[in-house]
Amino acid sequence: MHIDVTAAGSVTVLKIDGRLDSNTSKELEDTVMGLVTSGTTRLLMDFGGVDYINSSGLRVLLMAFQHLKKDGGLLHLCDIKDYMREVFEISGYNEIFSIFPGQAEALAAFPE
Protein backbone atom coordinates (compact mmCIF):
# COMPACT_ATOMS: atom_id res chain seq x y z
CA MET A 1 0.00 0.00 0.00
CA HIS A 2 1.09 3.54 -0.72
CA ILE A 3 -0.31 6.75 0.80
CA ASP A 4 0.21 10.09 -0.89
CA VAL A 5 -0.45 13.10 1.35
CA THR A 6 -1.24 16.45 -0.33
CA ALA A 7 -3.07 19.64 0.56
CA ALA A 8 -6.05 21.14 -1.27
CA GLY A 9 -6.66 24.48 0.45
CA SER A 10 -7.58 23.74 4.05
CA VAL A 11 -8.18 20.04 3.34
CA THR A 12 -5.54 17.32 3.70
CA VAL A 13 -5.95 14.73 0.95
CA LEU A 14 -4.82 11.12 1.43
CA LYS A 15 -4.63 9.25 -1.87
CA ILE A 16 -4.44 5.58 -0.93
CA ASP A 17 -3.20 2.93 -3.36
CA GLY A 18 -3.22 -0.84 -2.85
CA ARG A 19 -4.84 -3.12 -0.30
CA LEU A 20 -6.20 -1.99 3.05
CA ASP A 21 -5.95 -5.15 5.16
CA SER A 22 -4.67 -6.50 8.49
CA ASN A 23 -1.05 -6.04 7.41
CA THR A 24 -1.36 -2.51 5.97
CA SER A 25 -4.05 -0.79 8.06
CA LYS A 26 -1.52 0.12 10.73
CA GLU A 27 0.33 2.32 8.22
CA LEU A 28 -2.87 4.23 7.45
CA GLU A 29 -3.65 4.46 11.16
CA ASP A 30 -0.20 5.92 11.89
CA THR A 31 -0.52 8.43 9.03
CA VAL A 32 -3.99 9.54 10.13
CA MET A 33 -3.06 9.78 13.81
CA GLY A 34 0.06 11.77 12.91
CA LEU A 35 -2.07 14.25 10.96
CA VAL A 36 -4.79 14.53 13.61
CA THR A 37 -2.24 15.05 16.39
CA SER A 38 -0.52 17.76 14.40
CA GLY A 39 -3.76 19.69 14.01
CA THR A 40 -5.44 18.43 10.80
CA THR A 41 -9.21 18.84 11.07
CA ARG A 42 -10.36 18.39 7.46
CA LEU A 43 -9.42 15.11 5.87
CA LEU A 44 -10.31 13.58 2.52
CA MET A 45 -9.43 9.97 1.78
CA ASP A 46 -9.38 9.07 -1.91
CA PHE A 47 -10.01 5.34 -2.46
CA GLY A 48 -9.56 5.43 -6.25
CA GLY A 49 -6.48 3.19 -6.02
CA VAL A 50 -7.81 0.83 -3.33
CA ASP A 51 -8.91 -2.57 -4.61
CA TYR A 52 -9.45 -4.33 -1.29
CA ILE A 53 -10.63 -3.37 2.20
CA ASN A 54 -11.46 -5.60 5.18
CA SER A 55 -12.72 -4.96 8.70
CA SER A 56 -9.31 -3.79 9.95
CA GLY A 57 -9.29 -1.10 7.22
CA LEU A 58 -12.80 -0.03 8.17
CA ARG A 59 -11.76 0.03 11.82
CA VAL A 60 -9.10 2.65 10.95
CA LEU A 61 -11.70 4.74 9.09
CA LEU A 62 -14.06 4.67 12.08
CA MET A 63 -11.22 5.58 14.41
CA ALA A 64 -10.22 8.51 12.16
CA PHE A 65 -13.84 9.66 12.05
CA GLN A 66 -14.19 9.51 15.84
CA HIS A 67 -10.92 11.40 16.46
CA LEU A 68 -11.72 14.14 13.93
CA LYS A 69 -15.31 14.55 15.08
CA LYS A 70 -14.22 14.92 18.72
CA ASP A 71 -12.37 18.14 17.78
CA GLY A 72 -15.03 19.40 15.40
CA GLY A 73 -13.23 18.06 12.32
CA LEU A 74 -14.58 16.38 9.19
CA LEU A 75 -13.72 13.25 7.23
CA HIS A 76 -14.86 12.78 3.62
CA LEU A 77 -14.30 9.66 1.51
CA CYS A 78 -14.38 9.42 -2.28
CA ASP A 79 -14.08 7.11 -5.30
CA ILE A 80 -14.86 3.83 -3.50
CA LYS A 81 -15.43 0.92 -5.90
CA ASP A 82 -19.01 -0.41 -5.98
CA TYR A 83 -18.13 -3.85 -4.63
CA MET A 84 -16.46 -2.23 -1.62
CA ARG A 85 -19.35 0.23 -1.10
CA GLU A 86 -21.38 -2.86 -0.27
CA VAL A 87 -19.36 -3.61 2.91
CA PHE A 88 -19.88 -0.01 3.99
CA GLU A 89 -23.61 -0.72 3.69
CA ILE A 90 -23.42 -4.10 5.47
CA SER A 91 -21.59 -2.48 8.37
CA GLY A 92 -23.84 0.60 8.47
CA TYR A 93 -20.74 2.74 7.81
CA ASN A 94 -22.40 4.30 4.75
CA GLU A 95 -24.55 6.23 7.24
CA ILE A 96 -21.54 7.38 9.26
CA PHE A 97 -19.26 8.57 6.47
CA SER A 98 -19.81 11.23 3.87
CA ILE A 99 -18.98 9.36 0.64
CA PHE A 100 -18.59 11.15 -2.69
CA PRO A 101 -18.01 9.95 -6.27
CA GLY A 102 -14.76 11.90 -6.80
CA GLN A 103 -12.30 14.35 -5.23
CA ALA A 104 -13.95 17.43 -6.75
CA GLU A 105 -17.35 16.69 -5.18
CA ALA A 106 -15.77 15.65 -1.87
CA LEU A 107 -13.70 18.87 -1.64
CA ALA A 108 -16.65 21.08 -2.64
CA ALA A 109 -18.73 19.55 0.18
CA PHE A 110 -16.44 20.86 2.95
CA PRO A 111 -18.05 23.99 4.42
CA GLU A 112 -16.37 27.38 3.78
Partner 1 sequence: MSEQLSLRIDNSLPELDRLHSEVECFLARCAVTGREAYHIQLALDELVTNVICYAFEKEGGHVIDISLERGPDGVDMTIRDEGKPFNPLLAPTPDMDISPEKRRIGGLGIHFARSTMDRLAYDRINGMNILHISKKII
The strand order across the sheet containing 98-100 reads 2-8, 11-20, 42-53, 74-78, 98-100
- For residues 94 and 2, what is the distance between their CA atoms, to the nearest angstrom? 24
Are 28 and 16 in contact, with CB atoms under 8 Å apart? Answer: yes
- For residues 31 and 27, what is the distance between their CA atoms, to the nearest angstrom? 6
Binding track, positions 76-95, relative to partner 1; x by CB under 8 A: ------xxx-xx--xxx--x
Considering the complex, state which of residue 80 and residue 103 has its C-beta at the smaller distance from partner 1.
Answer: 80
Q: Is 63 in the site for partner 1 (CB under 8 A)?
A: yes
# residues near partner 1 by CB under 8 A? 26
Exactly one of 6, 10, 66, 101 binds partner 1 (CB under 8 A); that residue is 66
Which spans of this chain sit near partner 1 (rule: CB under 8 A)? Answer: 19, 21-23, 52, 54-56, 58-59, 62-63, 65-66, 69-70, 82-84, 86-87, 90-92, 95-96
